[in-house]
Structure 1
Amino acid sequence: MRPELLFPLFKSAESLKGVGPRMMGLLRKLTGEHVIDLVWHLPSGIVTRQKIDHLLPDYVTGQVIVTVTTRKHHPSRSRRVPYKIDCDVNGEALTLTFFNGREDYLKQKLPLDKQRIVAGKLEEYGGVYQITHPDHILDVNDHADISIHEPVYPLTGGITNNMLGKAIQQALSFVPVLPEWQDPTLITREKWIDWKTAVMTVHNPTGEKDLEPESLPRQRLAYDELFANQLALELARRSMKRKKGRSLPSNGTLTEAVIDLLPFALTGAQRRAISEISADLTANYRMLRLVQGDVGSGKTMVALMTILQALENGAQAALMAPTEILARQHLEGLDPYFKQLGLKTTLLTGRLKGKKRAAVLQELAEGTIHVAIGTHALFQEDVQYHDLGLAVIDEQHRFGVHQRLALSAKGKPETGGVDVLVMTATPIPRTLALTAYGDMDVSIIDEKPPGRKPVDTRAIEIERLDALATGLGRKIAENERIYWVCPLVEESEVSDLAAAEDRKTYLEALYPGQVGIVHGKLKSDEKEAAMEAFKSGETQILVATTVIEVGVDVPEATVMIIEHAERFGLAQLHQLRGRVGRGGLAGNCLLLYAGPLGETQKARLKIMRETEDGFVIAEEDLRLRGAGELLGTRQSGLPEFKIAELEKCGHLVTIARDDARLFLEKDPELQSKRGNAVRTLLYLFERDSAIHYLRSG
């Protein structure tokens, strides 16, 4: 149950004075529907209104006491003709100008010969001072209602800053004094104020510095949110560890046999990851581990060793990929090893239908198929496994958490469910890994297999496109393959397609019969056919939108041309570059750009030229783009933070993770005085689902 102390904060914002159904509809999109959501909606700017006694020629935002003298211009039918009211300020003339002004309203707000406080931007035109559409008009007795420093909030169409400011001030009146949930030593060290004072302070800035994420009150609130997030993740992790799992120890019969079959030695990073996973599988709790590896670091071999350890115990394994192309590629890469070990695999995708599908489902249920590789078809309701012990999920951020859970639920309850290994080739900045995947144990593969040559990366002005295209003949003569990636045009998918089709036509004229195309509008079998023609060498240039981004492996591909590279994010550019130079031949990545470039675009291209380290690139991408844009909050499972800006407070995430772990070591059931305060914190940031973990397990 949510503590009674928080009830007023979780009332509907419609309970506030002045918030009717229309404004409530807009608030739902802008802030959220509860009073607390308004409290979390922090100012993004500030207007400082100095008191003006004498009119100055400088443009200034201020507040001035006026006496209304005349109404010279009455409204006409033309909207362009303003309604003007003349006023006196200590013997000087000032005009108040209103477009579409309602006469009855203005007469009531600005009666003749009366004094009023007017706040707004003072301007001068041709020797005449004026304020257009004042922000505030108040009786002189209400001067306390105009703040010298007024916060400016992020808005949406239909809500003014004045309307939102009034609603937020009301919301703040419900903010209670709450018990302190932070470690007193930390508060002293960071010079933080208490929670309520921090909330009040951030909504009453007195200068630009107060708006910075580094300001102490904002840091305090960001840390509260990050601490709540880390507590919830740690409670989830502990709950998972408490769940009875199945011990799948390695006896070496399959894992050691496959090492003898490999034509190369595993890297130190691969061996380390395999060892960490093996320990998880051997333990009698359920595994939930994330393997992060840069492009081409050899995650597939780690997945193979994990699958074989599960199979050594008589269990089945499933490997789920986000697309059919990737699922087929995994099957092609792994099946030769499984066959030599006498193990049976199957491909299960949405395309498998009728009698063939029925036969596969029967073999899975009987246990004669040891490994199923496929797409989300692996966890459809009618798919039953004889004894599923392990689920490997490739490119986790392309699946929702519920899909992960659906696959892991396919195990036998009496054996303790399914161990889950999640893999991603998208290097995730440490800050994001801790906040998005903090409920998982993490293994990092940060070494590339020996013999992998660096990819030569260059940025080229788009004006040189013709010379570049005609120069590709040398690569084609050597039987090498070329990717030509066309940019996504944000307006519509139709223009994306048109751009790709135009480029194919252009290249086809230079290299007849050598050019294929892949884009999002193609059916999956058409995509497969285009990819297959490219892999086999039937076509040597593949024009594509970013559907070739993740995981596609063509050893002969040596050239990656990315048109309008300035439109892509760093992570995307890095993933695309990772498609070439995989077969022992040197790779080239050519970033075609159209100037002039903005500072962020210049920084991206510079980083791409300077480093191939995906983890360095990921950190830079976070710094340049921010967290929400980086992973795409909705599909990544990344929590949406209301206050914390991850790109600005990475050091706080690490402190919060360590603090959460230490605290839960001492008080795992949240029973102490601080423990009870921590419960309030979890409810405050709507991480209450974590409270259930205390009782579950």
Structure 2
Amino acid sequence: MRPTVLDPLFAPVSTLPGVGPKIAKILSGLVASHPEREASVADLLFHLPHSLIDRRHKPGIAYSENGDIVTLDITVGNHQAAPRNSKAPYKITGYDDTGEITFVFFHPRRDWLEKMFPVGARRIVSGKVEWFNERPQMVHPDYVVPPEEADSLPTIEPIYPLTAGLASKTLQKALTAALAKVPTLPEWLDAAHQRQNHWPDFAESLQTLHRPQEKQDLNPEAPAYQRLAYDELLASQLALALVRAKMRQLGGISRAPEGLLQRTVIEALPFKLTESQSRSIGEINEDLAKPLRMLRLLQGDVGSGKTVVALASLAQVIETGAQGALMAPTEILARQHFASMSSLCEKAGIRLALMTGKDSAKLRRETQEKLLAGEIDLVVGTHALFQGSVEFRDLGLVVVDEQHRFGVHQRLALSSKGRGVDVLVMTATPIPRTLVLTSFGDMEVSRLTDKPAGRKPITTVSASLDRLEEIIGRVGNAIHSGQKVYWICPLVEESEKIDLAAVEDRHRVLEHALGQPVSLVHGRMTADEKDAGMQAFKSGATRVLVATTVIEVGVDVPDATIIVIEHAERFGLAQLHQLRGRVGRGDKPSTCVLLFKGPLGETASARLNIMRQTNDGFLIAEEDLKLRGGGEILGTRQSGMPGFRIANAEAHADLMEAARDDARLILEKDPDLRTERGSALRCLLYLFGRDEAIGLLRAG
């Protein structure tokens, strides 16, 4: 049950004065934590300002700098109305002791302006000054009041992210009402830690951020901001720690066979394991041998050989008589894993099966019967594997590939498919340490840092789209010399129709220019059409594949040596690196061409530079975090940390470490959150939407 003290914060925004159904809907679109529900008062309060306007600056007309927001005490001069049917603006002059200024209005209501600016009267006017032909002007001032109402002018005004249909004043009014509803909450922070950091309490922190007095109040390093960021991070880390404790409580099974099957798989490989592959397999074997559930994240850069580590780990569990499952995010990937594992499994005597959403009912039933009878040792598939009716005789290890959005609660759901199921999650997106803590804080981490022997580095170059014909000519030469080429076009959801047309257009242009068939793969095709396009490219029936980013993850064509990424400036760093990893998988030198449309902005330019300088995915991930915040790295929002509204990856990385340590200590001392601080921490979990974790407490 949610503590009643939180009720005012969980009231819908429509209960605030001045927020009718229409505004409530717009506000919910902007701030709601659950898209299908109306936003709560807490959702609104966690929507923080990003900057402020200081209207205390009163330099006088002549001393107002271009672009500054100023407040002026002026006397109204004359009005210059635009001629009828003219599009010229309406102008009003004003002056003070230092000089003269023009106020400019487009589409004016003359009667209203004459009332606001009576000729010869004094007015306090605030807005942005712009110098034009060495004369100052102010287009549509923000505030105009008579001197006796000067106090009504907000001197400091916080600026919030807004959305269409929502005026800044409407949002400010709703926030004033929301702040008045903040109750006195029990303190969940450790008193010594709070004193040491000079952090205010929760209500005071909200008050400071929504009613800032100085610019530095909104700095992510300021005490009030840090306090709220820490609250959010602590809620997240406490939830992850509870999941971990629950997984451990459920108990695991010690799986420590002699390792014969694992050795057979490794010896059947056509290459020698890298040092980090051997180390990771060792770490996983140690986990499997303990009577606790394994929950491990295997991070490896593109092409670092994660699948081999996964198969070796699955072999270890299969040797004990249990079954393994490997889950991939797409059908293309599932089929690819199945194909790449088939010969190794055959040599090692592992009975392998594939299960996807495309299977006929008959085939699915047969696979299901074999799984239950224990006639299948390892099944590869998509999410279909874990939905509802699929049952195993004795599931021991689940490997989840490339599923960034595979959350904590799905991890718990997997456990229900067997006794003491161990879980290995793999990702080819190198994730900076901070984000590993935010999203996988309940997991141990293994990292693959070296590339398999024989892999050649990829040369990366960038070129303007003006050189398109030259690039197409070079692609033609490359395919005549027997090479294969990926050509990637961007796909942005807002303009999907235009982008799809662009992909299809590029496909036609290349077929015409190269004088041979070219494969095409994009998200709007059926699975069969995509498969056919990929197969033609893999087999060599076509030598060029035009695609959107559907080929980003895991598609393996070892003899592809060139990738052209069109409009590279529209991609995030992590995505560019993932795409580049489609080439350089064989023993031939490979090239990545980043085609951009100039002029480039600062961030896009920095991205392309980093891509040219390094092939190291971990370094790229850290740089990506600096350039755009962590959202994009895990394939979620464009900035900030995934799933966080206040905490910021760069500014609050050290707080994340502290929150994780704090969460572990709390659960050691008070595993059921029964103490006074424990019940305050339950409030915190509810407040930041981590209440599912409360259900994991023994006491409920």
| 1:249 paired residue number | 256
Residue 234 of structure 1 contacts residue 661 of structure 1 at CA under 8 Å; is this kept in 2?
yes
* Aligned with 1:232 (options 239, 251, 268): 239
What root-mean-square deviation, in Å, do the aligned CA atoms of Structure 1 and Structure 2 show?
A: 3.8
Q: 3-state DSSP class of the match of 2:44? A: helix
Preserved CA contact (<8 Å) 2:632 2:639: no
Task: Answer yes or no: is the 8 Å Cα contact 1:399–1:636 preserved in 2.
Answer: no
Q: How does 1:104-115 map to 2 (within 5 A)?
A: none
Secondary structure of the 2:260 match is: coil
Instruction: Supply the AA of the counterpart residue of 1:8.
Output: P
- Partners of 2:306 and 2:194 lie apart in 1 by 42
1:356 Cα deviation from its structure 2 partner = 3.0
In the aligned structure 2, how far is the partner of 1:189 from the partner of 1:183?
10
The number of equivalent residue pairs is 692
Q: Which residue of 1 aligns with 2:35?
A: none
Q: Indicate if the aligned counterparts of 1:558 and 1:580 stay in contact, CA closer than 8 A.
A: yes
Aligned to 1:301: 308
Decide whether aligned partners of structure 1 residues 355 and 122 sit closer, same or farther in structure 2, where only a CA change above 3 A counts.
closer
1:662 lines up with 2:665 in the alignment: yes
Question: How far apart, in 2, do the equivalents of 1:93 and 1:262 lie?
Answer: 82
- 1:14 and 2:14 aligned: yes
TM-fit CA distance, 1:294? 0.7
What CA deviation, in whole Å up to 9, does each residue of 1:642-686 have, x standing for no partner?
211224322322222223223333333334444343333323323
Instruction: Identify which of 526, 533, 538 aligns with 1:523.
Output: 526
| 1:43 maps to 2:49 | yes
Measured in 2, the distance between the counterparts of 1:427 and 1:101 equals 55
Aligned-residue offset at 1:150: 1.7
Instruction: Point out the more displaced range, 309-318 or 30-39.
Output: 30-39
Structure 1 counterpart of 2:547 = 544
Rounded to whole Å, the distance in 2 between the matches of 1:297 and 1:61 is 53
**2:657 alignment partner AA:** T
Counterpart-to-counterpart distance in 2, 1:397 and 1:646: 17
Q: TM-score, normalised by structure 2?
A: 0.87
Distance 1:35 1:504, change over 3 A: closer
Contact 1:57-1:124 within 8 A present in 2 as well = no
Structure 1, residues 21-42: CA drift from partner, whole Å, max 9, x if none? Answer: 2222222122332222232222
- Cα distance in 2 between the residues matched to 1:432 and 1:628: 9
**TM-score, scaled relative to structure 1:** 0.87
Residue in 1 aligned with 2:591? 588
Instruction: Note the alpha carbon deviations across 1:388-433, whole angstroms, 9 max, x for none.
Output: 222211111265666655554333xxx34x3222111111122222
The one-letter code matched in structure 1 to 2:24 is M
Query: How far does residue 136 in structure 1 lie from its aligned partner after superposition?
Result: 4.9
The 1:538–1:217 alpha-carbon spacing in structure 2 relative to 1, beyond 3 Å, is same
How far did 1:574 drift?
A: 0.9
How far apart in 1 are the matches of 2:279 and 2:564? Answer: 35
Q: Secondary structure at the match of 1:285?
A: coil
Q: By how many angstroms is 1:46 displaced? A: 1.7
Aligned identity (percent) is: 52
Compare 610-619 and 191-200 and name the one that shifted more.
191-200
Q: Match for residue 617 of structure 2?
A: 614
* SS class of match (1:444): strand
Residue 36 (structure 2) aligns with: none
Q: Rate the CA distance shift 1:78–1:351 in 2: closer, same or farther, 3 A.
A: same
Q: 1:428 aligns with which of 427, 431, 434?
A: 431
Alpha-carbon displacement from aligned partner over 1:69-119 (angstroms, at most 9, x marks no partner)? 99x899999897999999999999999887778899999999999998665
Q: 5+ residue gaps in structure 2?
A: 33-38
Matching of residue 274 in structure 1 with residue 281 in structure 2: yes
Match of 2:161 among 131, 154, 160: 154
CA contact (8 A) 2:630 2:642 kept: no
Q: Does residue 693 of structure 1 match 2:693?
A: no
Could you tell me which of 439, 444, 450 is aligned with 2:447? 444
Return the alpha-carbon distance in structure 1 between the equivalents of residues 639 and 390 of structure 2.
26
Q: Which one of the candidate residues 551, 556, 576 is aligned to 1:553?
A: 556
- Contact 1:318–1:371 (CA under 8 A) maintained in structure 2: yes
**1:126-275 matches, cutoff 5 A:** 135-136=142-143, 144-275=151-282
| Aligned counterparts of 1:607 and 1:88: Cα–Cα separation in 2 | 52
Report deviation, 1:306: 1.7
Seen in structure 2, the aligned counterparts of structure 1 residues 370 and 634 have a Cα distance that, compared at 3 Å, is farther
CA distance in 1, matches of 2:187, 2:44: 22
Give 1:517 shift.
2.2
Q: Deviations over 1:551-579 (max 9, x none)?
A: 11112111222222222211111112111
Match of 1:598 in 2: 601
Counterpart code for 1:443: S
Q: Is the 8 A contact 1:489 1:495 kept in 2?
A: no
Amino acid in the other structure paired with 1:36: A
**Change beyond 3 A, Cα 1:166–1:471:** closer
Contact 1:82–1:97 under 8 Å retained in 2: yes
Question: Mean alpha-carbon deviation: is it higher for 319-328 or for 130-139?
Answer: 130-139
Residue pairs, 1:482-497, within 5 angstroms:
482-488=485-491, 492-497=495-500
1:345–1:136 distance in 2 versus 1, CA, 3 Å: same
CA distance in 1, matches of 2:95, 2:58: 13
The answer to whether the 8 A contact 1:55-1:92 is kept is: yes
**CA-CA distance at 1:324 after TM superposition:** 1.8
CA distance, structure 2, for counterparts of residue 543 and residue 91 of structure 1: 64
The amino acid of 2:551's aligned partner reads I
Answering whether residue 461 of structure 2 is matched by residue 454 of structure 1, we say: no
Task: Summarize the Cα distance change of 1:42–1:329 in structure 2 as closer, same or farther, 3 Å threshold.
Answer: same
The residue type paired with residue 2 of structure 1 is R
User: Distance between the aligned counterparts of 1:399 and 1:332, measured in 2?
Assistant: 24
5 Å-filtered alignment, 1:266-415, equals 266-397=273-404, 399=406, 407-411=414-418, 415=419
Partner of 1:563: 566
Matched, 1:34 2:37: no
AA aligned to 1:351 is K
The answer on whether the counterparts of 1:397 and 1:636 sit within 8 Å (CA) in structure 2 is no
| Residue identity matched to 2:302 | V
Q: 1:456 to 1:127 in 2, by over 3 A?
A: closer
Q: Distance in 2 between matches of 1:532 and 1:126?
A: 64
602-611 or 537-546: bigger deviation = 537-546
Change (3 A) 1:118 1:541: closer
CA contact (8 A) 1:322 1:398 kept: no
1:649 matched residue in structure 2: 652
Q: Write the deviation string for residues 565-598 of structure 1: whole angstroms up to 9, x where unpaired.
A: 2222111111121111212222222222232211
Cα deviation for residue 326 of structure 1 reads 1.1
Give the partner amino acid of 2:236: N
Q: State the secondary structure of the residue aligned to 1:479.
A: coil
2:569 is equivalent to residue 576 of structure 1: no
Shift of 1:308: 1.2
Q: Give 3-state SS (helix, strand or coil) of 2:203's partner.
A: helix
| Structure 1 gap ranges (5+) | none
Aligned 8 A contact 1:247 1:282 in 2:
yes
- Partners in 2 of 1:75 and 1:588 — Cα distance? 61
Q: Judging changes above 3 Å, is the alpha-carbon distance between structure 1 residues 108 and 341 closer, same or farther for their aligned structure 2 residues?
A: same
Distance in 1, matches of 2:121 and 2:12, equals 40
